[in-house]
Amino acid sequence: MAYTVLFGTFTLLMLIGMPIAFCLGIASLATVVYLGLPPIVVFQQINSGMNVFAMMAIPFFIFAGDLMVRGGIAERLIRFAAGLVGHLRGGLGQVNILACTFFGGISGSAVADASAVGGLMVPQMAARGYDRDYAVNVTVNAAIIALLIPPSHNMILYSIAAGGTVSVADLFTAGIMPGLLLAAALMVTAYIVARRKGYPAEPFPGFAKVGIYLLAALPGIMLIGIIFAGVRSGVFTATESSCIAVLYAFLVALFVYKELNWHGFIEAVLGAVRTTAMVLLVIGTAASFGWLMSYLQVQQLMVVAMGAVSDNPIIILLMINIILLVLGTFMDMAPMVIISTPIFLPVVTAFGIDPVHFGILMILNAGIGLNTPPVGTVLFVGCAVGKITIREAMRTIWPFFGASVAVLMAVTFIPEISLWLPSLFK
């Protein structure tokens, strides 16, 4: 009966449209009361869920990304991407995807990618004759590349949800190849759709101009290398790297690009505070929910249930992929990672699946979920930027959605895609 109270209350509250953090908190409180435990347990778990030192990396990475957005890096990355791939068929769509890949290595946030790159690219694409639904679908699907390219703060969340047993450095490294594979798959899809629709290609500016664009974008791109090299080499931790990212972003925006003013700085601070407050509230209530699942031994039941179906690791991963894709349609990324990791990680480790490999699958599944209604945060942002309805976007999103799922299946069936690069650093 306790399982019914926990999951039933959570599902019912979500169906009536209550914010996810309150769904998690109220469901936890109702279950604790039903079990006869002191209600203060819920608030203790919320506090302990947020009071994790490694969690400090999240607000700092958010702040660094916001500083870069307001400091002019997005425009320079787009200009450099345009020089590289704008001459391909459907050039602005290709530029959009490549710019999202670059910017994702700075922001680590799919929402920031969709907002910053989409805000600049979608109007340009519409003015050049591209359908707005195509522009939005390219943007929102390319935005999830940011979740795989370091520094993805969702990988830090996964590491914390795994009890700190999974290396953030390994996760950062493991996400690179899947992220690049997803970018390539989306670019091929965008090219095919652009040919069918007759979208134009942009003129090639020449190698000299591309070199100039590279020099202009280089200070921003270097941040990716600094963070990855520092964390991978052990010079600093992921939390320390987030502080370095803020300092570097501030100096570049203020003294190199000279586009960050006092008003922009204050807006970046307030934006980071608002986003952090929302994320931490969700993380805290999800930690309480996850503690109750451990208390009720949900993980052990899941291992037994899945073991009864099959003992083949690939079948187990396919089953989990399906469950995560369904969860992603009505659950945002942070609570999904915090809740699902303690449930499924014991399952996959019991079947000999590498936790780093599973972490990449978790992030990719959750990222695809950000583009699926009714709770598709990135899709909502993209549609708001592109000024179209969700219905209009969903009519033509399927080729890009299919490309994302194809990459998910490739990463599932070929673990080396995510594990080969980390193995080089062992």
Q: What is the pLDDT of residue 282?
A: 81
Tokens linked to 367: 């990222």
Identify the band that residue 65 occupies on the pLDDT scale cut at 50, 70 and 90: confident
Q: How far apart are CA 64 and CA 325, in angstroms?
A: 30
360 or 165: which carries more pLDDT confidence? 360
The answer, yes or no, to whether residue 260 has pLDDT greater than 70, is yes
Identify the band that residue 405 occupies on the pLDDT scale cut at 50, 70 and 90: very high
Give the mean pLDDT of 315-342: 85
The answer, yes or no, to whether residue 49 has pLDDT greater than 80, is no
Give the mean pLDDT of 39-43: 86
Residues 6+ apart with CB under 8 A from 119: 385
Q: How far apart are CA 412 and CA 336, in angstroms?
A: 19
Q: Is the pTM of this model over 0.85?
A: yes
318 or 49: which carries more pLDDT confidence? 318
Q: What is the pLDDT of residue 410?
A: 95
Q: What is the pLDDT of residues 152-164, one digit of tens each?
A: 888 888 988 888 7
Quote the crossing angle between the two packed helices 153-161 and 355-369, to the nearest 10°.
Answer: 120
Q: How far apart are CA 365 and CA 178, in angstroms?
A: 12
The answer, yes or no, to whether residue 174 has pLDDT greater than 90, is yes
Average pLDDT score, the chain: 85
Q: What is the pLDDT of residues 183-215, one digit of tens each?
A: 999 999 999 998 888 888 788 888 888 888 888
* Residue closest to 97 by CA, chosen among 167, 192, 1, 180: 180
Q: What is the pLDDT of residue 373?
A: 78
The answer, yes or no, to whether residue 18 has pLDDT greater than 70, is yes
Q: How far apart are CA 274 and CA 278, in angstroms?
A: 6
Question: Would you list the domain boundaries of the chain?
Answer: 2-423
Identify the band that residue 416 occupies on the pLDDT scale cut at 50, 70 and 90: very high
Q: Dihedral of the CA atoms 310, 170, 360, 397 (nearest 10)?
A: -160
Q: What is the pLDDT of residue 5?
A: 85
Q: What is the pLDDT of residue 426?
A: 67
Q: What is the pLDDT of residue 419?
A: 93
Q: What is the pLDDT of residue 403?
A: 95
Q: What is the pLDDT of residues 105-152, one digit of tens each?
A: 777 778 877 887 888 888 888 888 888 999 999 999 999 998 998 878
Q: What is the pLDDT of residue 198?
A: 86
Taking CA 175 as the corner, what is the angle to CA 174 and CA 178, rounded to the nearest 5 degrees? 110
The answer, yes or no, to whether residue 361 has pLDDT greater than 90, is yes
Q: What is the pLDDT of residue 364?
A: 94
The answer, yes or no, to whether residue 354 has pLDDT greater than 90, is yes
Identify the band that residue 298 occupies on the pLDDT scale cut at 50, 70 and 90: confident
